[in-house]
Amino acid sequence: MFSEDEYRLDFFVDEGFQRKKCEKCGKFFWTRNVERKTCGDPPCDPYTFIGSPIFKRMHTLDEMREHYLSFFQARGHARIKRYPVVARWRDDIYLTIASIADFQPFVTSGQVPPPANPLTISQPCIRLDDLDSVGRSGRHLTTFEMMAHHVFNTREKEFYWKDRTVRLCDDLLVGLGMDPLAVTYKENPWAGGGNAGPSVEVMVGGLELATLVFMDLKAVPGGSVQIKGESYEKMNNYIVDTGYGLERFVWASTGSPTIYDAIFPDLVRKVADLAGVEHNLHDPEYAEIFAQNARLAGMVDLDEYSMSDLRKKIAGSIGISPEKLEKTIEPMERIYAVVDHTRCLAYMLGDGIIPSNVKAGYLARLVIRRTLRLMKELGLTLPLAELVEMHIQRLDYPNWQERFVTIKEILDQEEGKYAETLEKGKRLVKKTAEHFRKLGQPVPLAEMISLYDTHGIPPEIARESAEEIGAAVELPDNFYNLVAKKRIKADREEAKAVLPGKTQLLFYEHPNECVFEAVVLDVTEGGEVILDRTLLYPEGGGQPADHGTLERAGQAFTVVDVQKSGEVVLHKLAESGLARGDRVTGKVDMRRRLAHARHHTATHLVHDSAKRVLGKHVWQAGAQKSEDRARLDISHYKRITDAELKAIELEANRRVMEVAPVDTQFLPRTEAEKLFGFELYQGGVPPGTQIRVVRVGTDIEACAGTHVTNTGMIGAIKILRTERIQDGVERIEFAAGEAAVRAVQEKDDLLSEASGVLRVPADQLPKTAERFFEEWKGQQKEIERLKDDLARARLKTLVAEAETAEGLKIVVQKMGSADIDELLKVASLIAEQDCVVLLGSETGKLVAAVGKSGLAKGVKAGSIIRAAAKALGGGGGGKPELAQGGGPNAQKLDLALVAGKEAMRAGA
């Protein structure tokens, strides 16, 4: 924890602030008001700004954002553009959750300089931790803008620190018309993302408007400073990390009952009108219901406080019945949530997230499906895309109409998928619920989450389906919070041990050379050789390692794998014998290298061509190269058509024929991001202060692989196939150069072979194949007719030879090598003659059927099959009137038929 000295600032002293201890929570705070006894933070203090705005005039979102940015720009801060809401530059989170996330980990760790210093930004952020509270609490949002000013100080150069940070904040608030006595600065140590530091929460009227963090600690095992169970030590740099809530500032300027009525009042009214809900905040009694809801919700932890208890408390405080309260407030809670969620979707889809079942796509689908469920409950019949369009045209997309074409198609598809999920899901839920009902238990929460995660079934629909059969479910108010929290952070690979030393990488400077001289620096316990320099490319970025040889005094050692560990390159050899200090001559297998380089460069062109053909939303989801082919995984919301695939292939080959140079250069990370944006990180986020930027035509990416020097060296590109590897991700498999020629030749060989078999020219193959297929279908129909005739012929014989036992006609018969379809047909026909029948084939297949008399006596086909199949070492089952099964021990068919016959008699 931090001492008073960390917070005793000259600004506080000069302005007459006093440090006090809150008489309710015990936390320390600073105030100009000598009579204040509490810190200003709920539940110690309630919202007092509702109906009594903090600032002297109302502001819209655009007005407040511009006021804030202009304020700091006039005071020496560079205004920078926002980052995407999908955190492309991070490998630990999917969504941008705070303005400081824009600069983690490379800037905050001091590895690279910031884009400006000091700077100011208004960063849209998405947090789904409190998804269930949106609409209910009056204040929670999925999407919010974090206005901020950031300073990145070093021990050598300080721009400003605590005093000026707090003074700037206070000047901003007072300038907006805040009463100087109203603000409190509450001490509250901050920690997150591996950093920590003292911070103050800026409280006015019970509302937290900003947090000012003074980040000067980093997480280190055994560090001297302990915060929230973690140990920290001082950083070499120290950072002003502030966060001002744009939406909260606007709410404070209006004093409206809810934040939703402050930030998008016109959209709230429009959706309310569409839902047929009257929303009249000019009615004092009506407005007070929502105001009191926000006040009381602000005083409790909604994860620990049930909505029913909160409603009772609100109803009692304003003197109305809980029933009237619920009737008034519930429809508006849904409307508020729909308006909020559709803004969230406008940002998500506008910034390129494709809904899927993984990563950021999972979170987008979570919001989409919750919105659709709320719309259904409100009786809203307009397409979801229309609501999203209302938001996106207000956001900072200059070409929003172009983007919206794709967004609309995505949302229309998601609506269709959701409808299909509901239809299939109800049947699955009833089956699951029936299992737990028989156990005398409600469907547990873990099962409800699994139903949503695995099958996409919303919990409310699951509850309705379960209740239809008299089953209960565990469904807490914060269900969606729990689901979202499981998926917010990315899984990170465990860090591998890094070996000391450094290998000079020659393959970047001399990509076409194949011979080099080197010295053995070390040999690992596993036998891998570390050289001081190498031309051999280590595996990485989806590109396999080079192969080659190392020679010492005429003795050759075969290199079968190359890997990078930290700054050294490990060469795995087929033979042992090299030792530290040996001088070697290395040779690269250039045929393998060139095949990889062609495929790697072709991957850039295919990716760029896919963007041109399918749309700018396309993002690389993975890639792998080999000597004879490569594959590229891309985000896309539907299957790629044959026509689109041909267009991608043609576009890629056009780029090849341009013989454009392939440009590679190392750039400082910050400079590269300024020049090319975050599309650099299509293939992942490389470490380090310098990144290697590869430009292939108009495709520009951070890439460490080997490439040809111009697109003409790639040769032909032939797309081999495409497949959907998961929802929202398409795989394109292709070949380049010699591999493409061989792939075309293989297809030509197949055509020639097929032409020879059918004895027609290749251009006649489609018509000939179609004719043969039609003839085959006709023959199949004839075969089915003959089978039916045969079955009826056998039927007469078998029924005539039926035994009579227990008043039932019984048929048990071996049917030679008959297939399962024939067994089912014959058995069904015999059962129609009011028989109980068991048929078996030499292949170990069994079918039983029971006629009307047998069913009336309780004979079940499933019981017969289970008894017979057990003798074959197998199993089976089905309906009482018809069942099938079998087993691997077909030689025991006679025993099986005897066992089945006994089961027939026992059943009767």
What are residue 219's DSSP bridge partners? 232
Does 496 have pLDDT greater than 60?
no
Cα(737)–Cα(724) distance, rounded to whole angstroms? Answer: 25
Cα(806)–Cα(857) distance, rounded to whole angstroms? Answer: 10
Does 493 have pLDDT greater than 70?
no
Does 354 have pLDDT greater than 80?
yes
Show the tokens assigned to 328: 């008034």
Closest C-alpha to 521, from 502, 539, 538, 498:
502
Cα(646)–Cα(652) distance, rounded to whole angstroms? Answer: 10
Q: How far is C-alpha 129 from the chain's CA centre?
A: 15
Please state, as a whole number, how many other Cβ atoms lie within 10 Å of the Cβ of residue 456: 19
Who has greater pLDDT, 108 or 515? 515
Does 116 have pLDDT greater than 90?
yes
Who has greater pLDDT, 701 or 756? 701
- Residue pLDDT, tens place only, 406-421: 999 999 999 998 888 8
CA 891-892-894 angle, to 5 degrees, is 115
- Residue pLDDT, tens place only, 448-488: 888 887 777 878 888 888 888 888 888 887 788 778 777 77
pTM of the complete model:
0.81
- Provide the pLDDT for residue 125: 96
When mean pLDDT is compared across 244-248, 797-801, 881-885, the lowest value belongs to 797-801
Does 257 have pLDDT greater than 60?
yes
% of the chain with per-residue pLDDT over 70: 98
Please state, as a whole number, how many other Cβ atoms lie within 10 Å of the Cβ of residue 415: 17
Of the pLDDT bands very low, low, confident and very high (cuts 50, 70, 90), residue 16 is very high
Show the tokens assigned to 362: 């999972």
CA 687-693-699 angle, to 5 degrees, is 125
- Provide the pLDDT for residue 750: 85
Angle between helices 459-468 and 400-438 (to 10 degrees): 30
Please state, as a whole number, how many other Cβ atoms lie within 10 Å of the Cβ of residue 553: 8
Q: Determine the average pLDDT of the residues in 580-601.
A: 95
Angle between helices 322-350 and 400-438 (to 10 degrees): 130
Q: Determine the average pLDDT of the residues in 102-131.
A: 92
- Provide the pLDDT for residue 492: 57
Cα(131)–Cα(483) distance, rounded to whole angstroms? Answer: 10
Cα(149)–Cα(168) distance, rounded to whole angstroms? Answer: 10
Spatial CB neighbours of 35, under 8 Å, sequence gap ≥ 6:
none
- Provide the pLDDT for residue 845: 94
Show the tokens assigned to 157: 């150069």
- Provide the pLDDT for residue 347: 96
Show the tokens assigned to 760: 């027609």
SS3 293: helix
Does 791 have pLDDT greater than 80?
no
Who has greater pLDDT, 797 or 733? 733
First to last CA, the chain: 81
> Could you tell me if 488 and 93 are in contact, meaning their C-beta atoms sit under 8 angstroms apart?
yes
Does 213 have pLDDT greater than 90?
yes
CA 707-713-719 angle, to 5 degrees, is 85
Spatial CB neighbours of 482, under 8 Å, sequence gap ≥ 6:
445, 449, 476
When mean pLDDT is compared across 122-126, 514-518, 700-704, 751-755, the lowest value belongs to 751-755
- Residue pLDDT, tens place only, 810-862: 999 998 888 888 899 889 989 998 999 999 999 999 999 999 999 998 899 99
Does 600 have pLDDT greater than 70?
yes
When mean pLDDT is compared across 209-213, 467-471, 570-574, the lowest value belongs to 467-471
- Residue pLDDT, tens place only, 168-200: 999 999 999 999 999 999 999 988 777 889 999
Of the pLDDT bands very low, low, confident and very high (cuts 50, 70, 90), residue 433 is confident
- Provide the pLDDT for residue 511: 87
Cα(9)–Cα(259) distance, rounded to whole angstroms? Answer: 33
Spatial CB neighbours of 470, under 8 Å, sequence gap ≥ 6:
437
% of the chain with per-residue pLDDT over 90: 64
Residue identified by tokens 């140079």 is 661
- Provide the pLDDT for residue 48: 96
Closest C-alpha to 170, from 16, 4, 2:
16
Does 395 have pLDDT greater than 80?
yes
Show the tokens assigned to 878: 């089905």
Show the tokens assigned to 363: 């979170």
Peptide bond into 118 cis (omega under 30): yes
- Provide the pLDDT for residue 500: 76
Own/partner pairs, 672-680, CB within 8 angstroms, 24+ separation: 672/702, 673/89, 673/115, 674/115, 676/700, 678/83, 678/84, 678/88, 678/89, 679/88
- Residue pLDDT, tens place only, 614-624: 998 999 988 99
Does 135 have pLDDT greater than 60?
yes
- Provide the pLDDT for residue 655: 95
H runs (alpha helix) in 469-583: 479-487
Does 531 have pLDDT greater than 80?
yes
Work out whether strand 504-505 and strand 533-534 pair parallel, antiparallel, or are unpaired. Answer: parallel
What are residue 721's DSSP bridge partners? 733
Indicate if the alpha-carbon torsion angle 357, 359, 364, 366 is positive or negative.
positive
> Could you tell me if 880 and 855 are in contact, meaning their C-beta atoms sit under 8 angstroms apart?
yes
Q: Determine the average pLDDT of the residues in 568-574.
A: 95
**DSSP string across 566-603:** TTEEEEEESS----TT-EEEEEE-HHHHHHHHHHHHHH
Cα(60)–Cα(64) distance, rounded to whole angstroms? Answer: 6
Q: What is the CA radius of gyration of the chain?
A: 36
Does 767 have pLDDT greater than 90?
no
Q: Determine the average pLDDT of the residues in 487-499.
A: 62
> Could you tell me if 241 and 151 are in contact, meaning their C-beta atoms sit under 8 angstroms apart?
no
- Provide the pLDDT for residue 491: 62
SS3 540: strand
Cα(792)–Cα(803) distance, rounded to whole angstroms? Answer: 19
Q: Determine the average pLDDT of the residues in 239-267.
A: 97
Q: How far is C-alpha 716 from the chain's CA centre?
A: 35
Q: How far is C-alpha 663 from the chain's CA centre?
A: 33
Indicate if the alpha-carbon torsion angle 848, 853, 855, 860 is positive or negative.
negative
Closest C-alpha to 901, from 780, 810, 786, 806:
810
For residue 545, which phi and psi values (nearest 5 degrees)?
A: -70, 155
Residue 327, CA distances (Å) to 278, 286, 320, 324 in order: 12, 12, 11, 5
Average pLDDT over all residues of the chain: 90
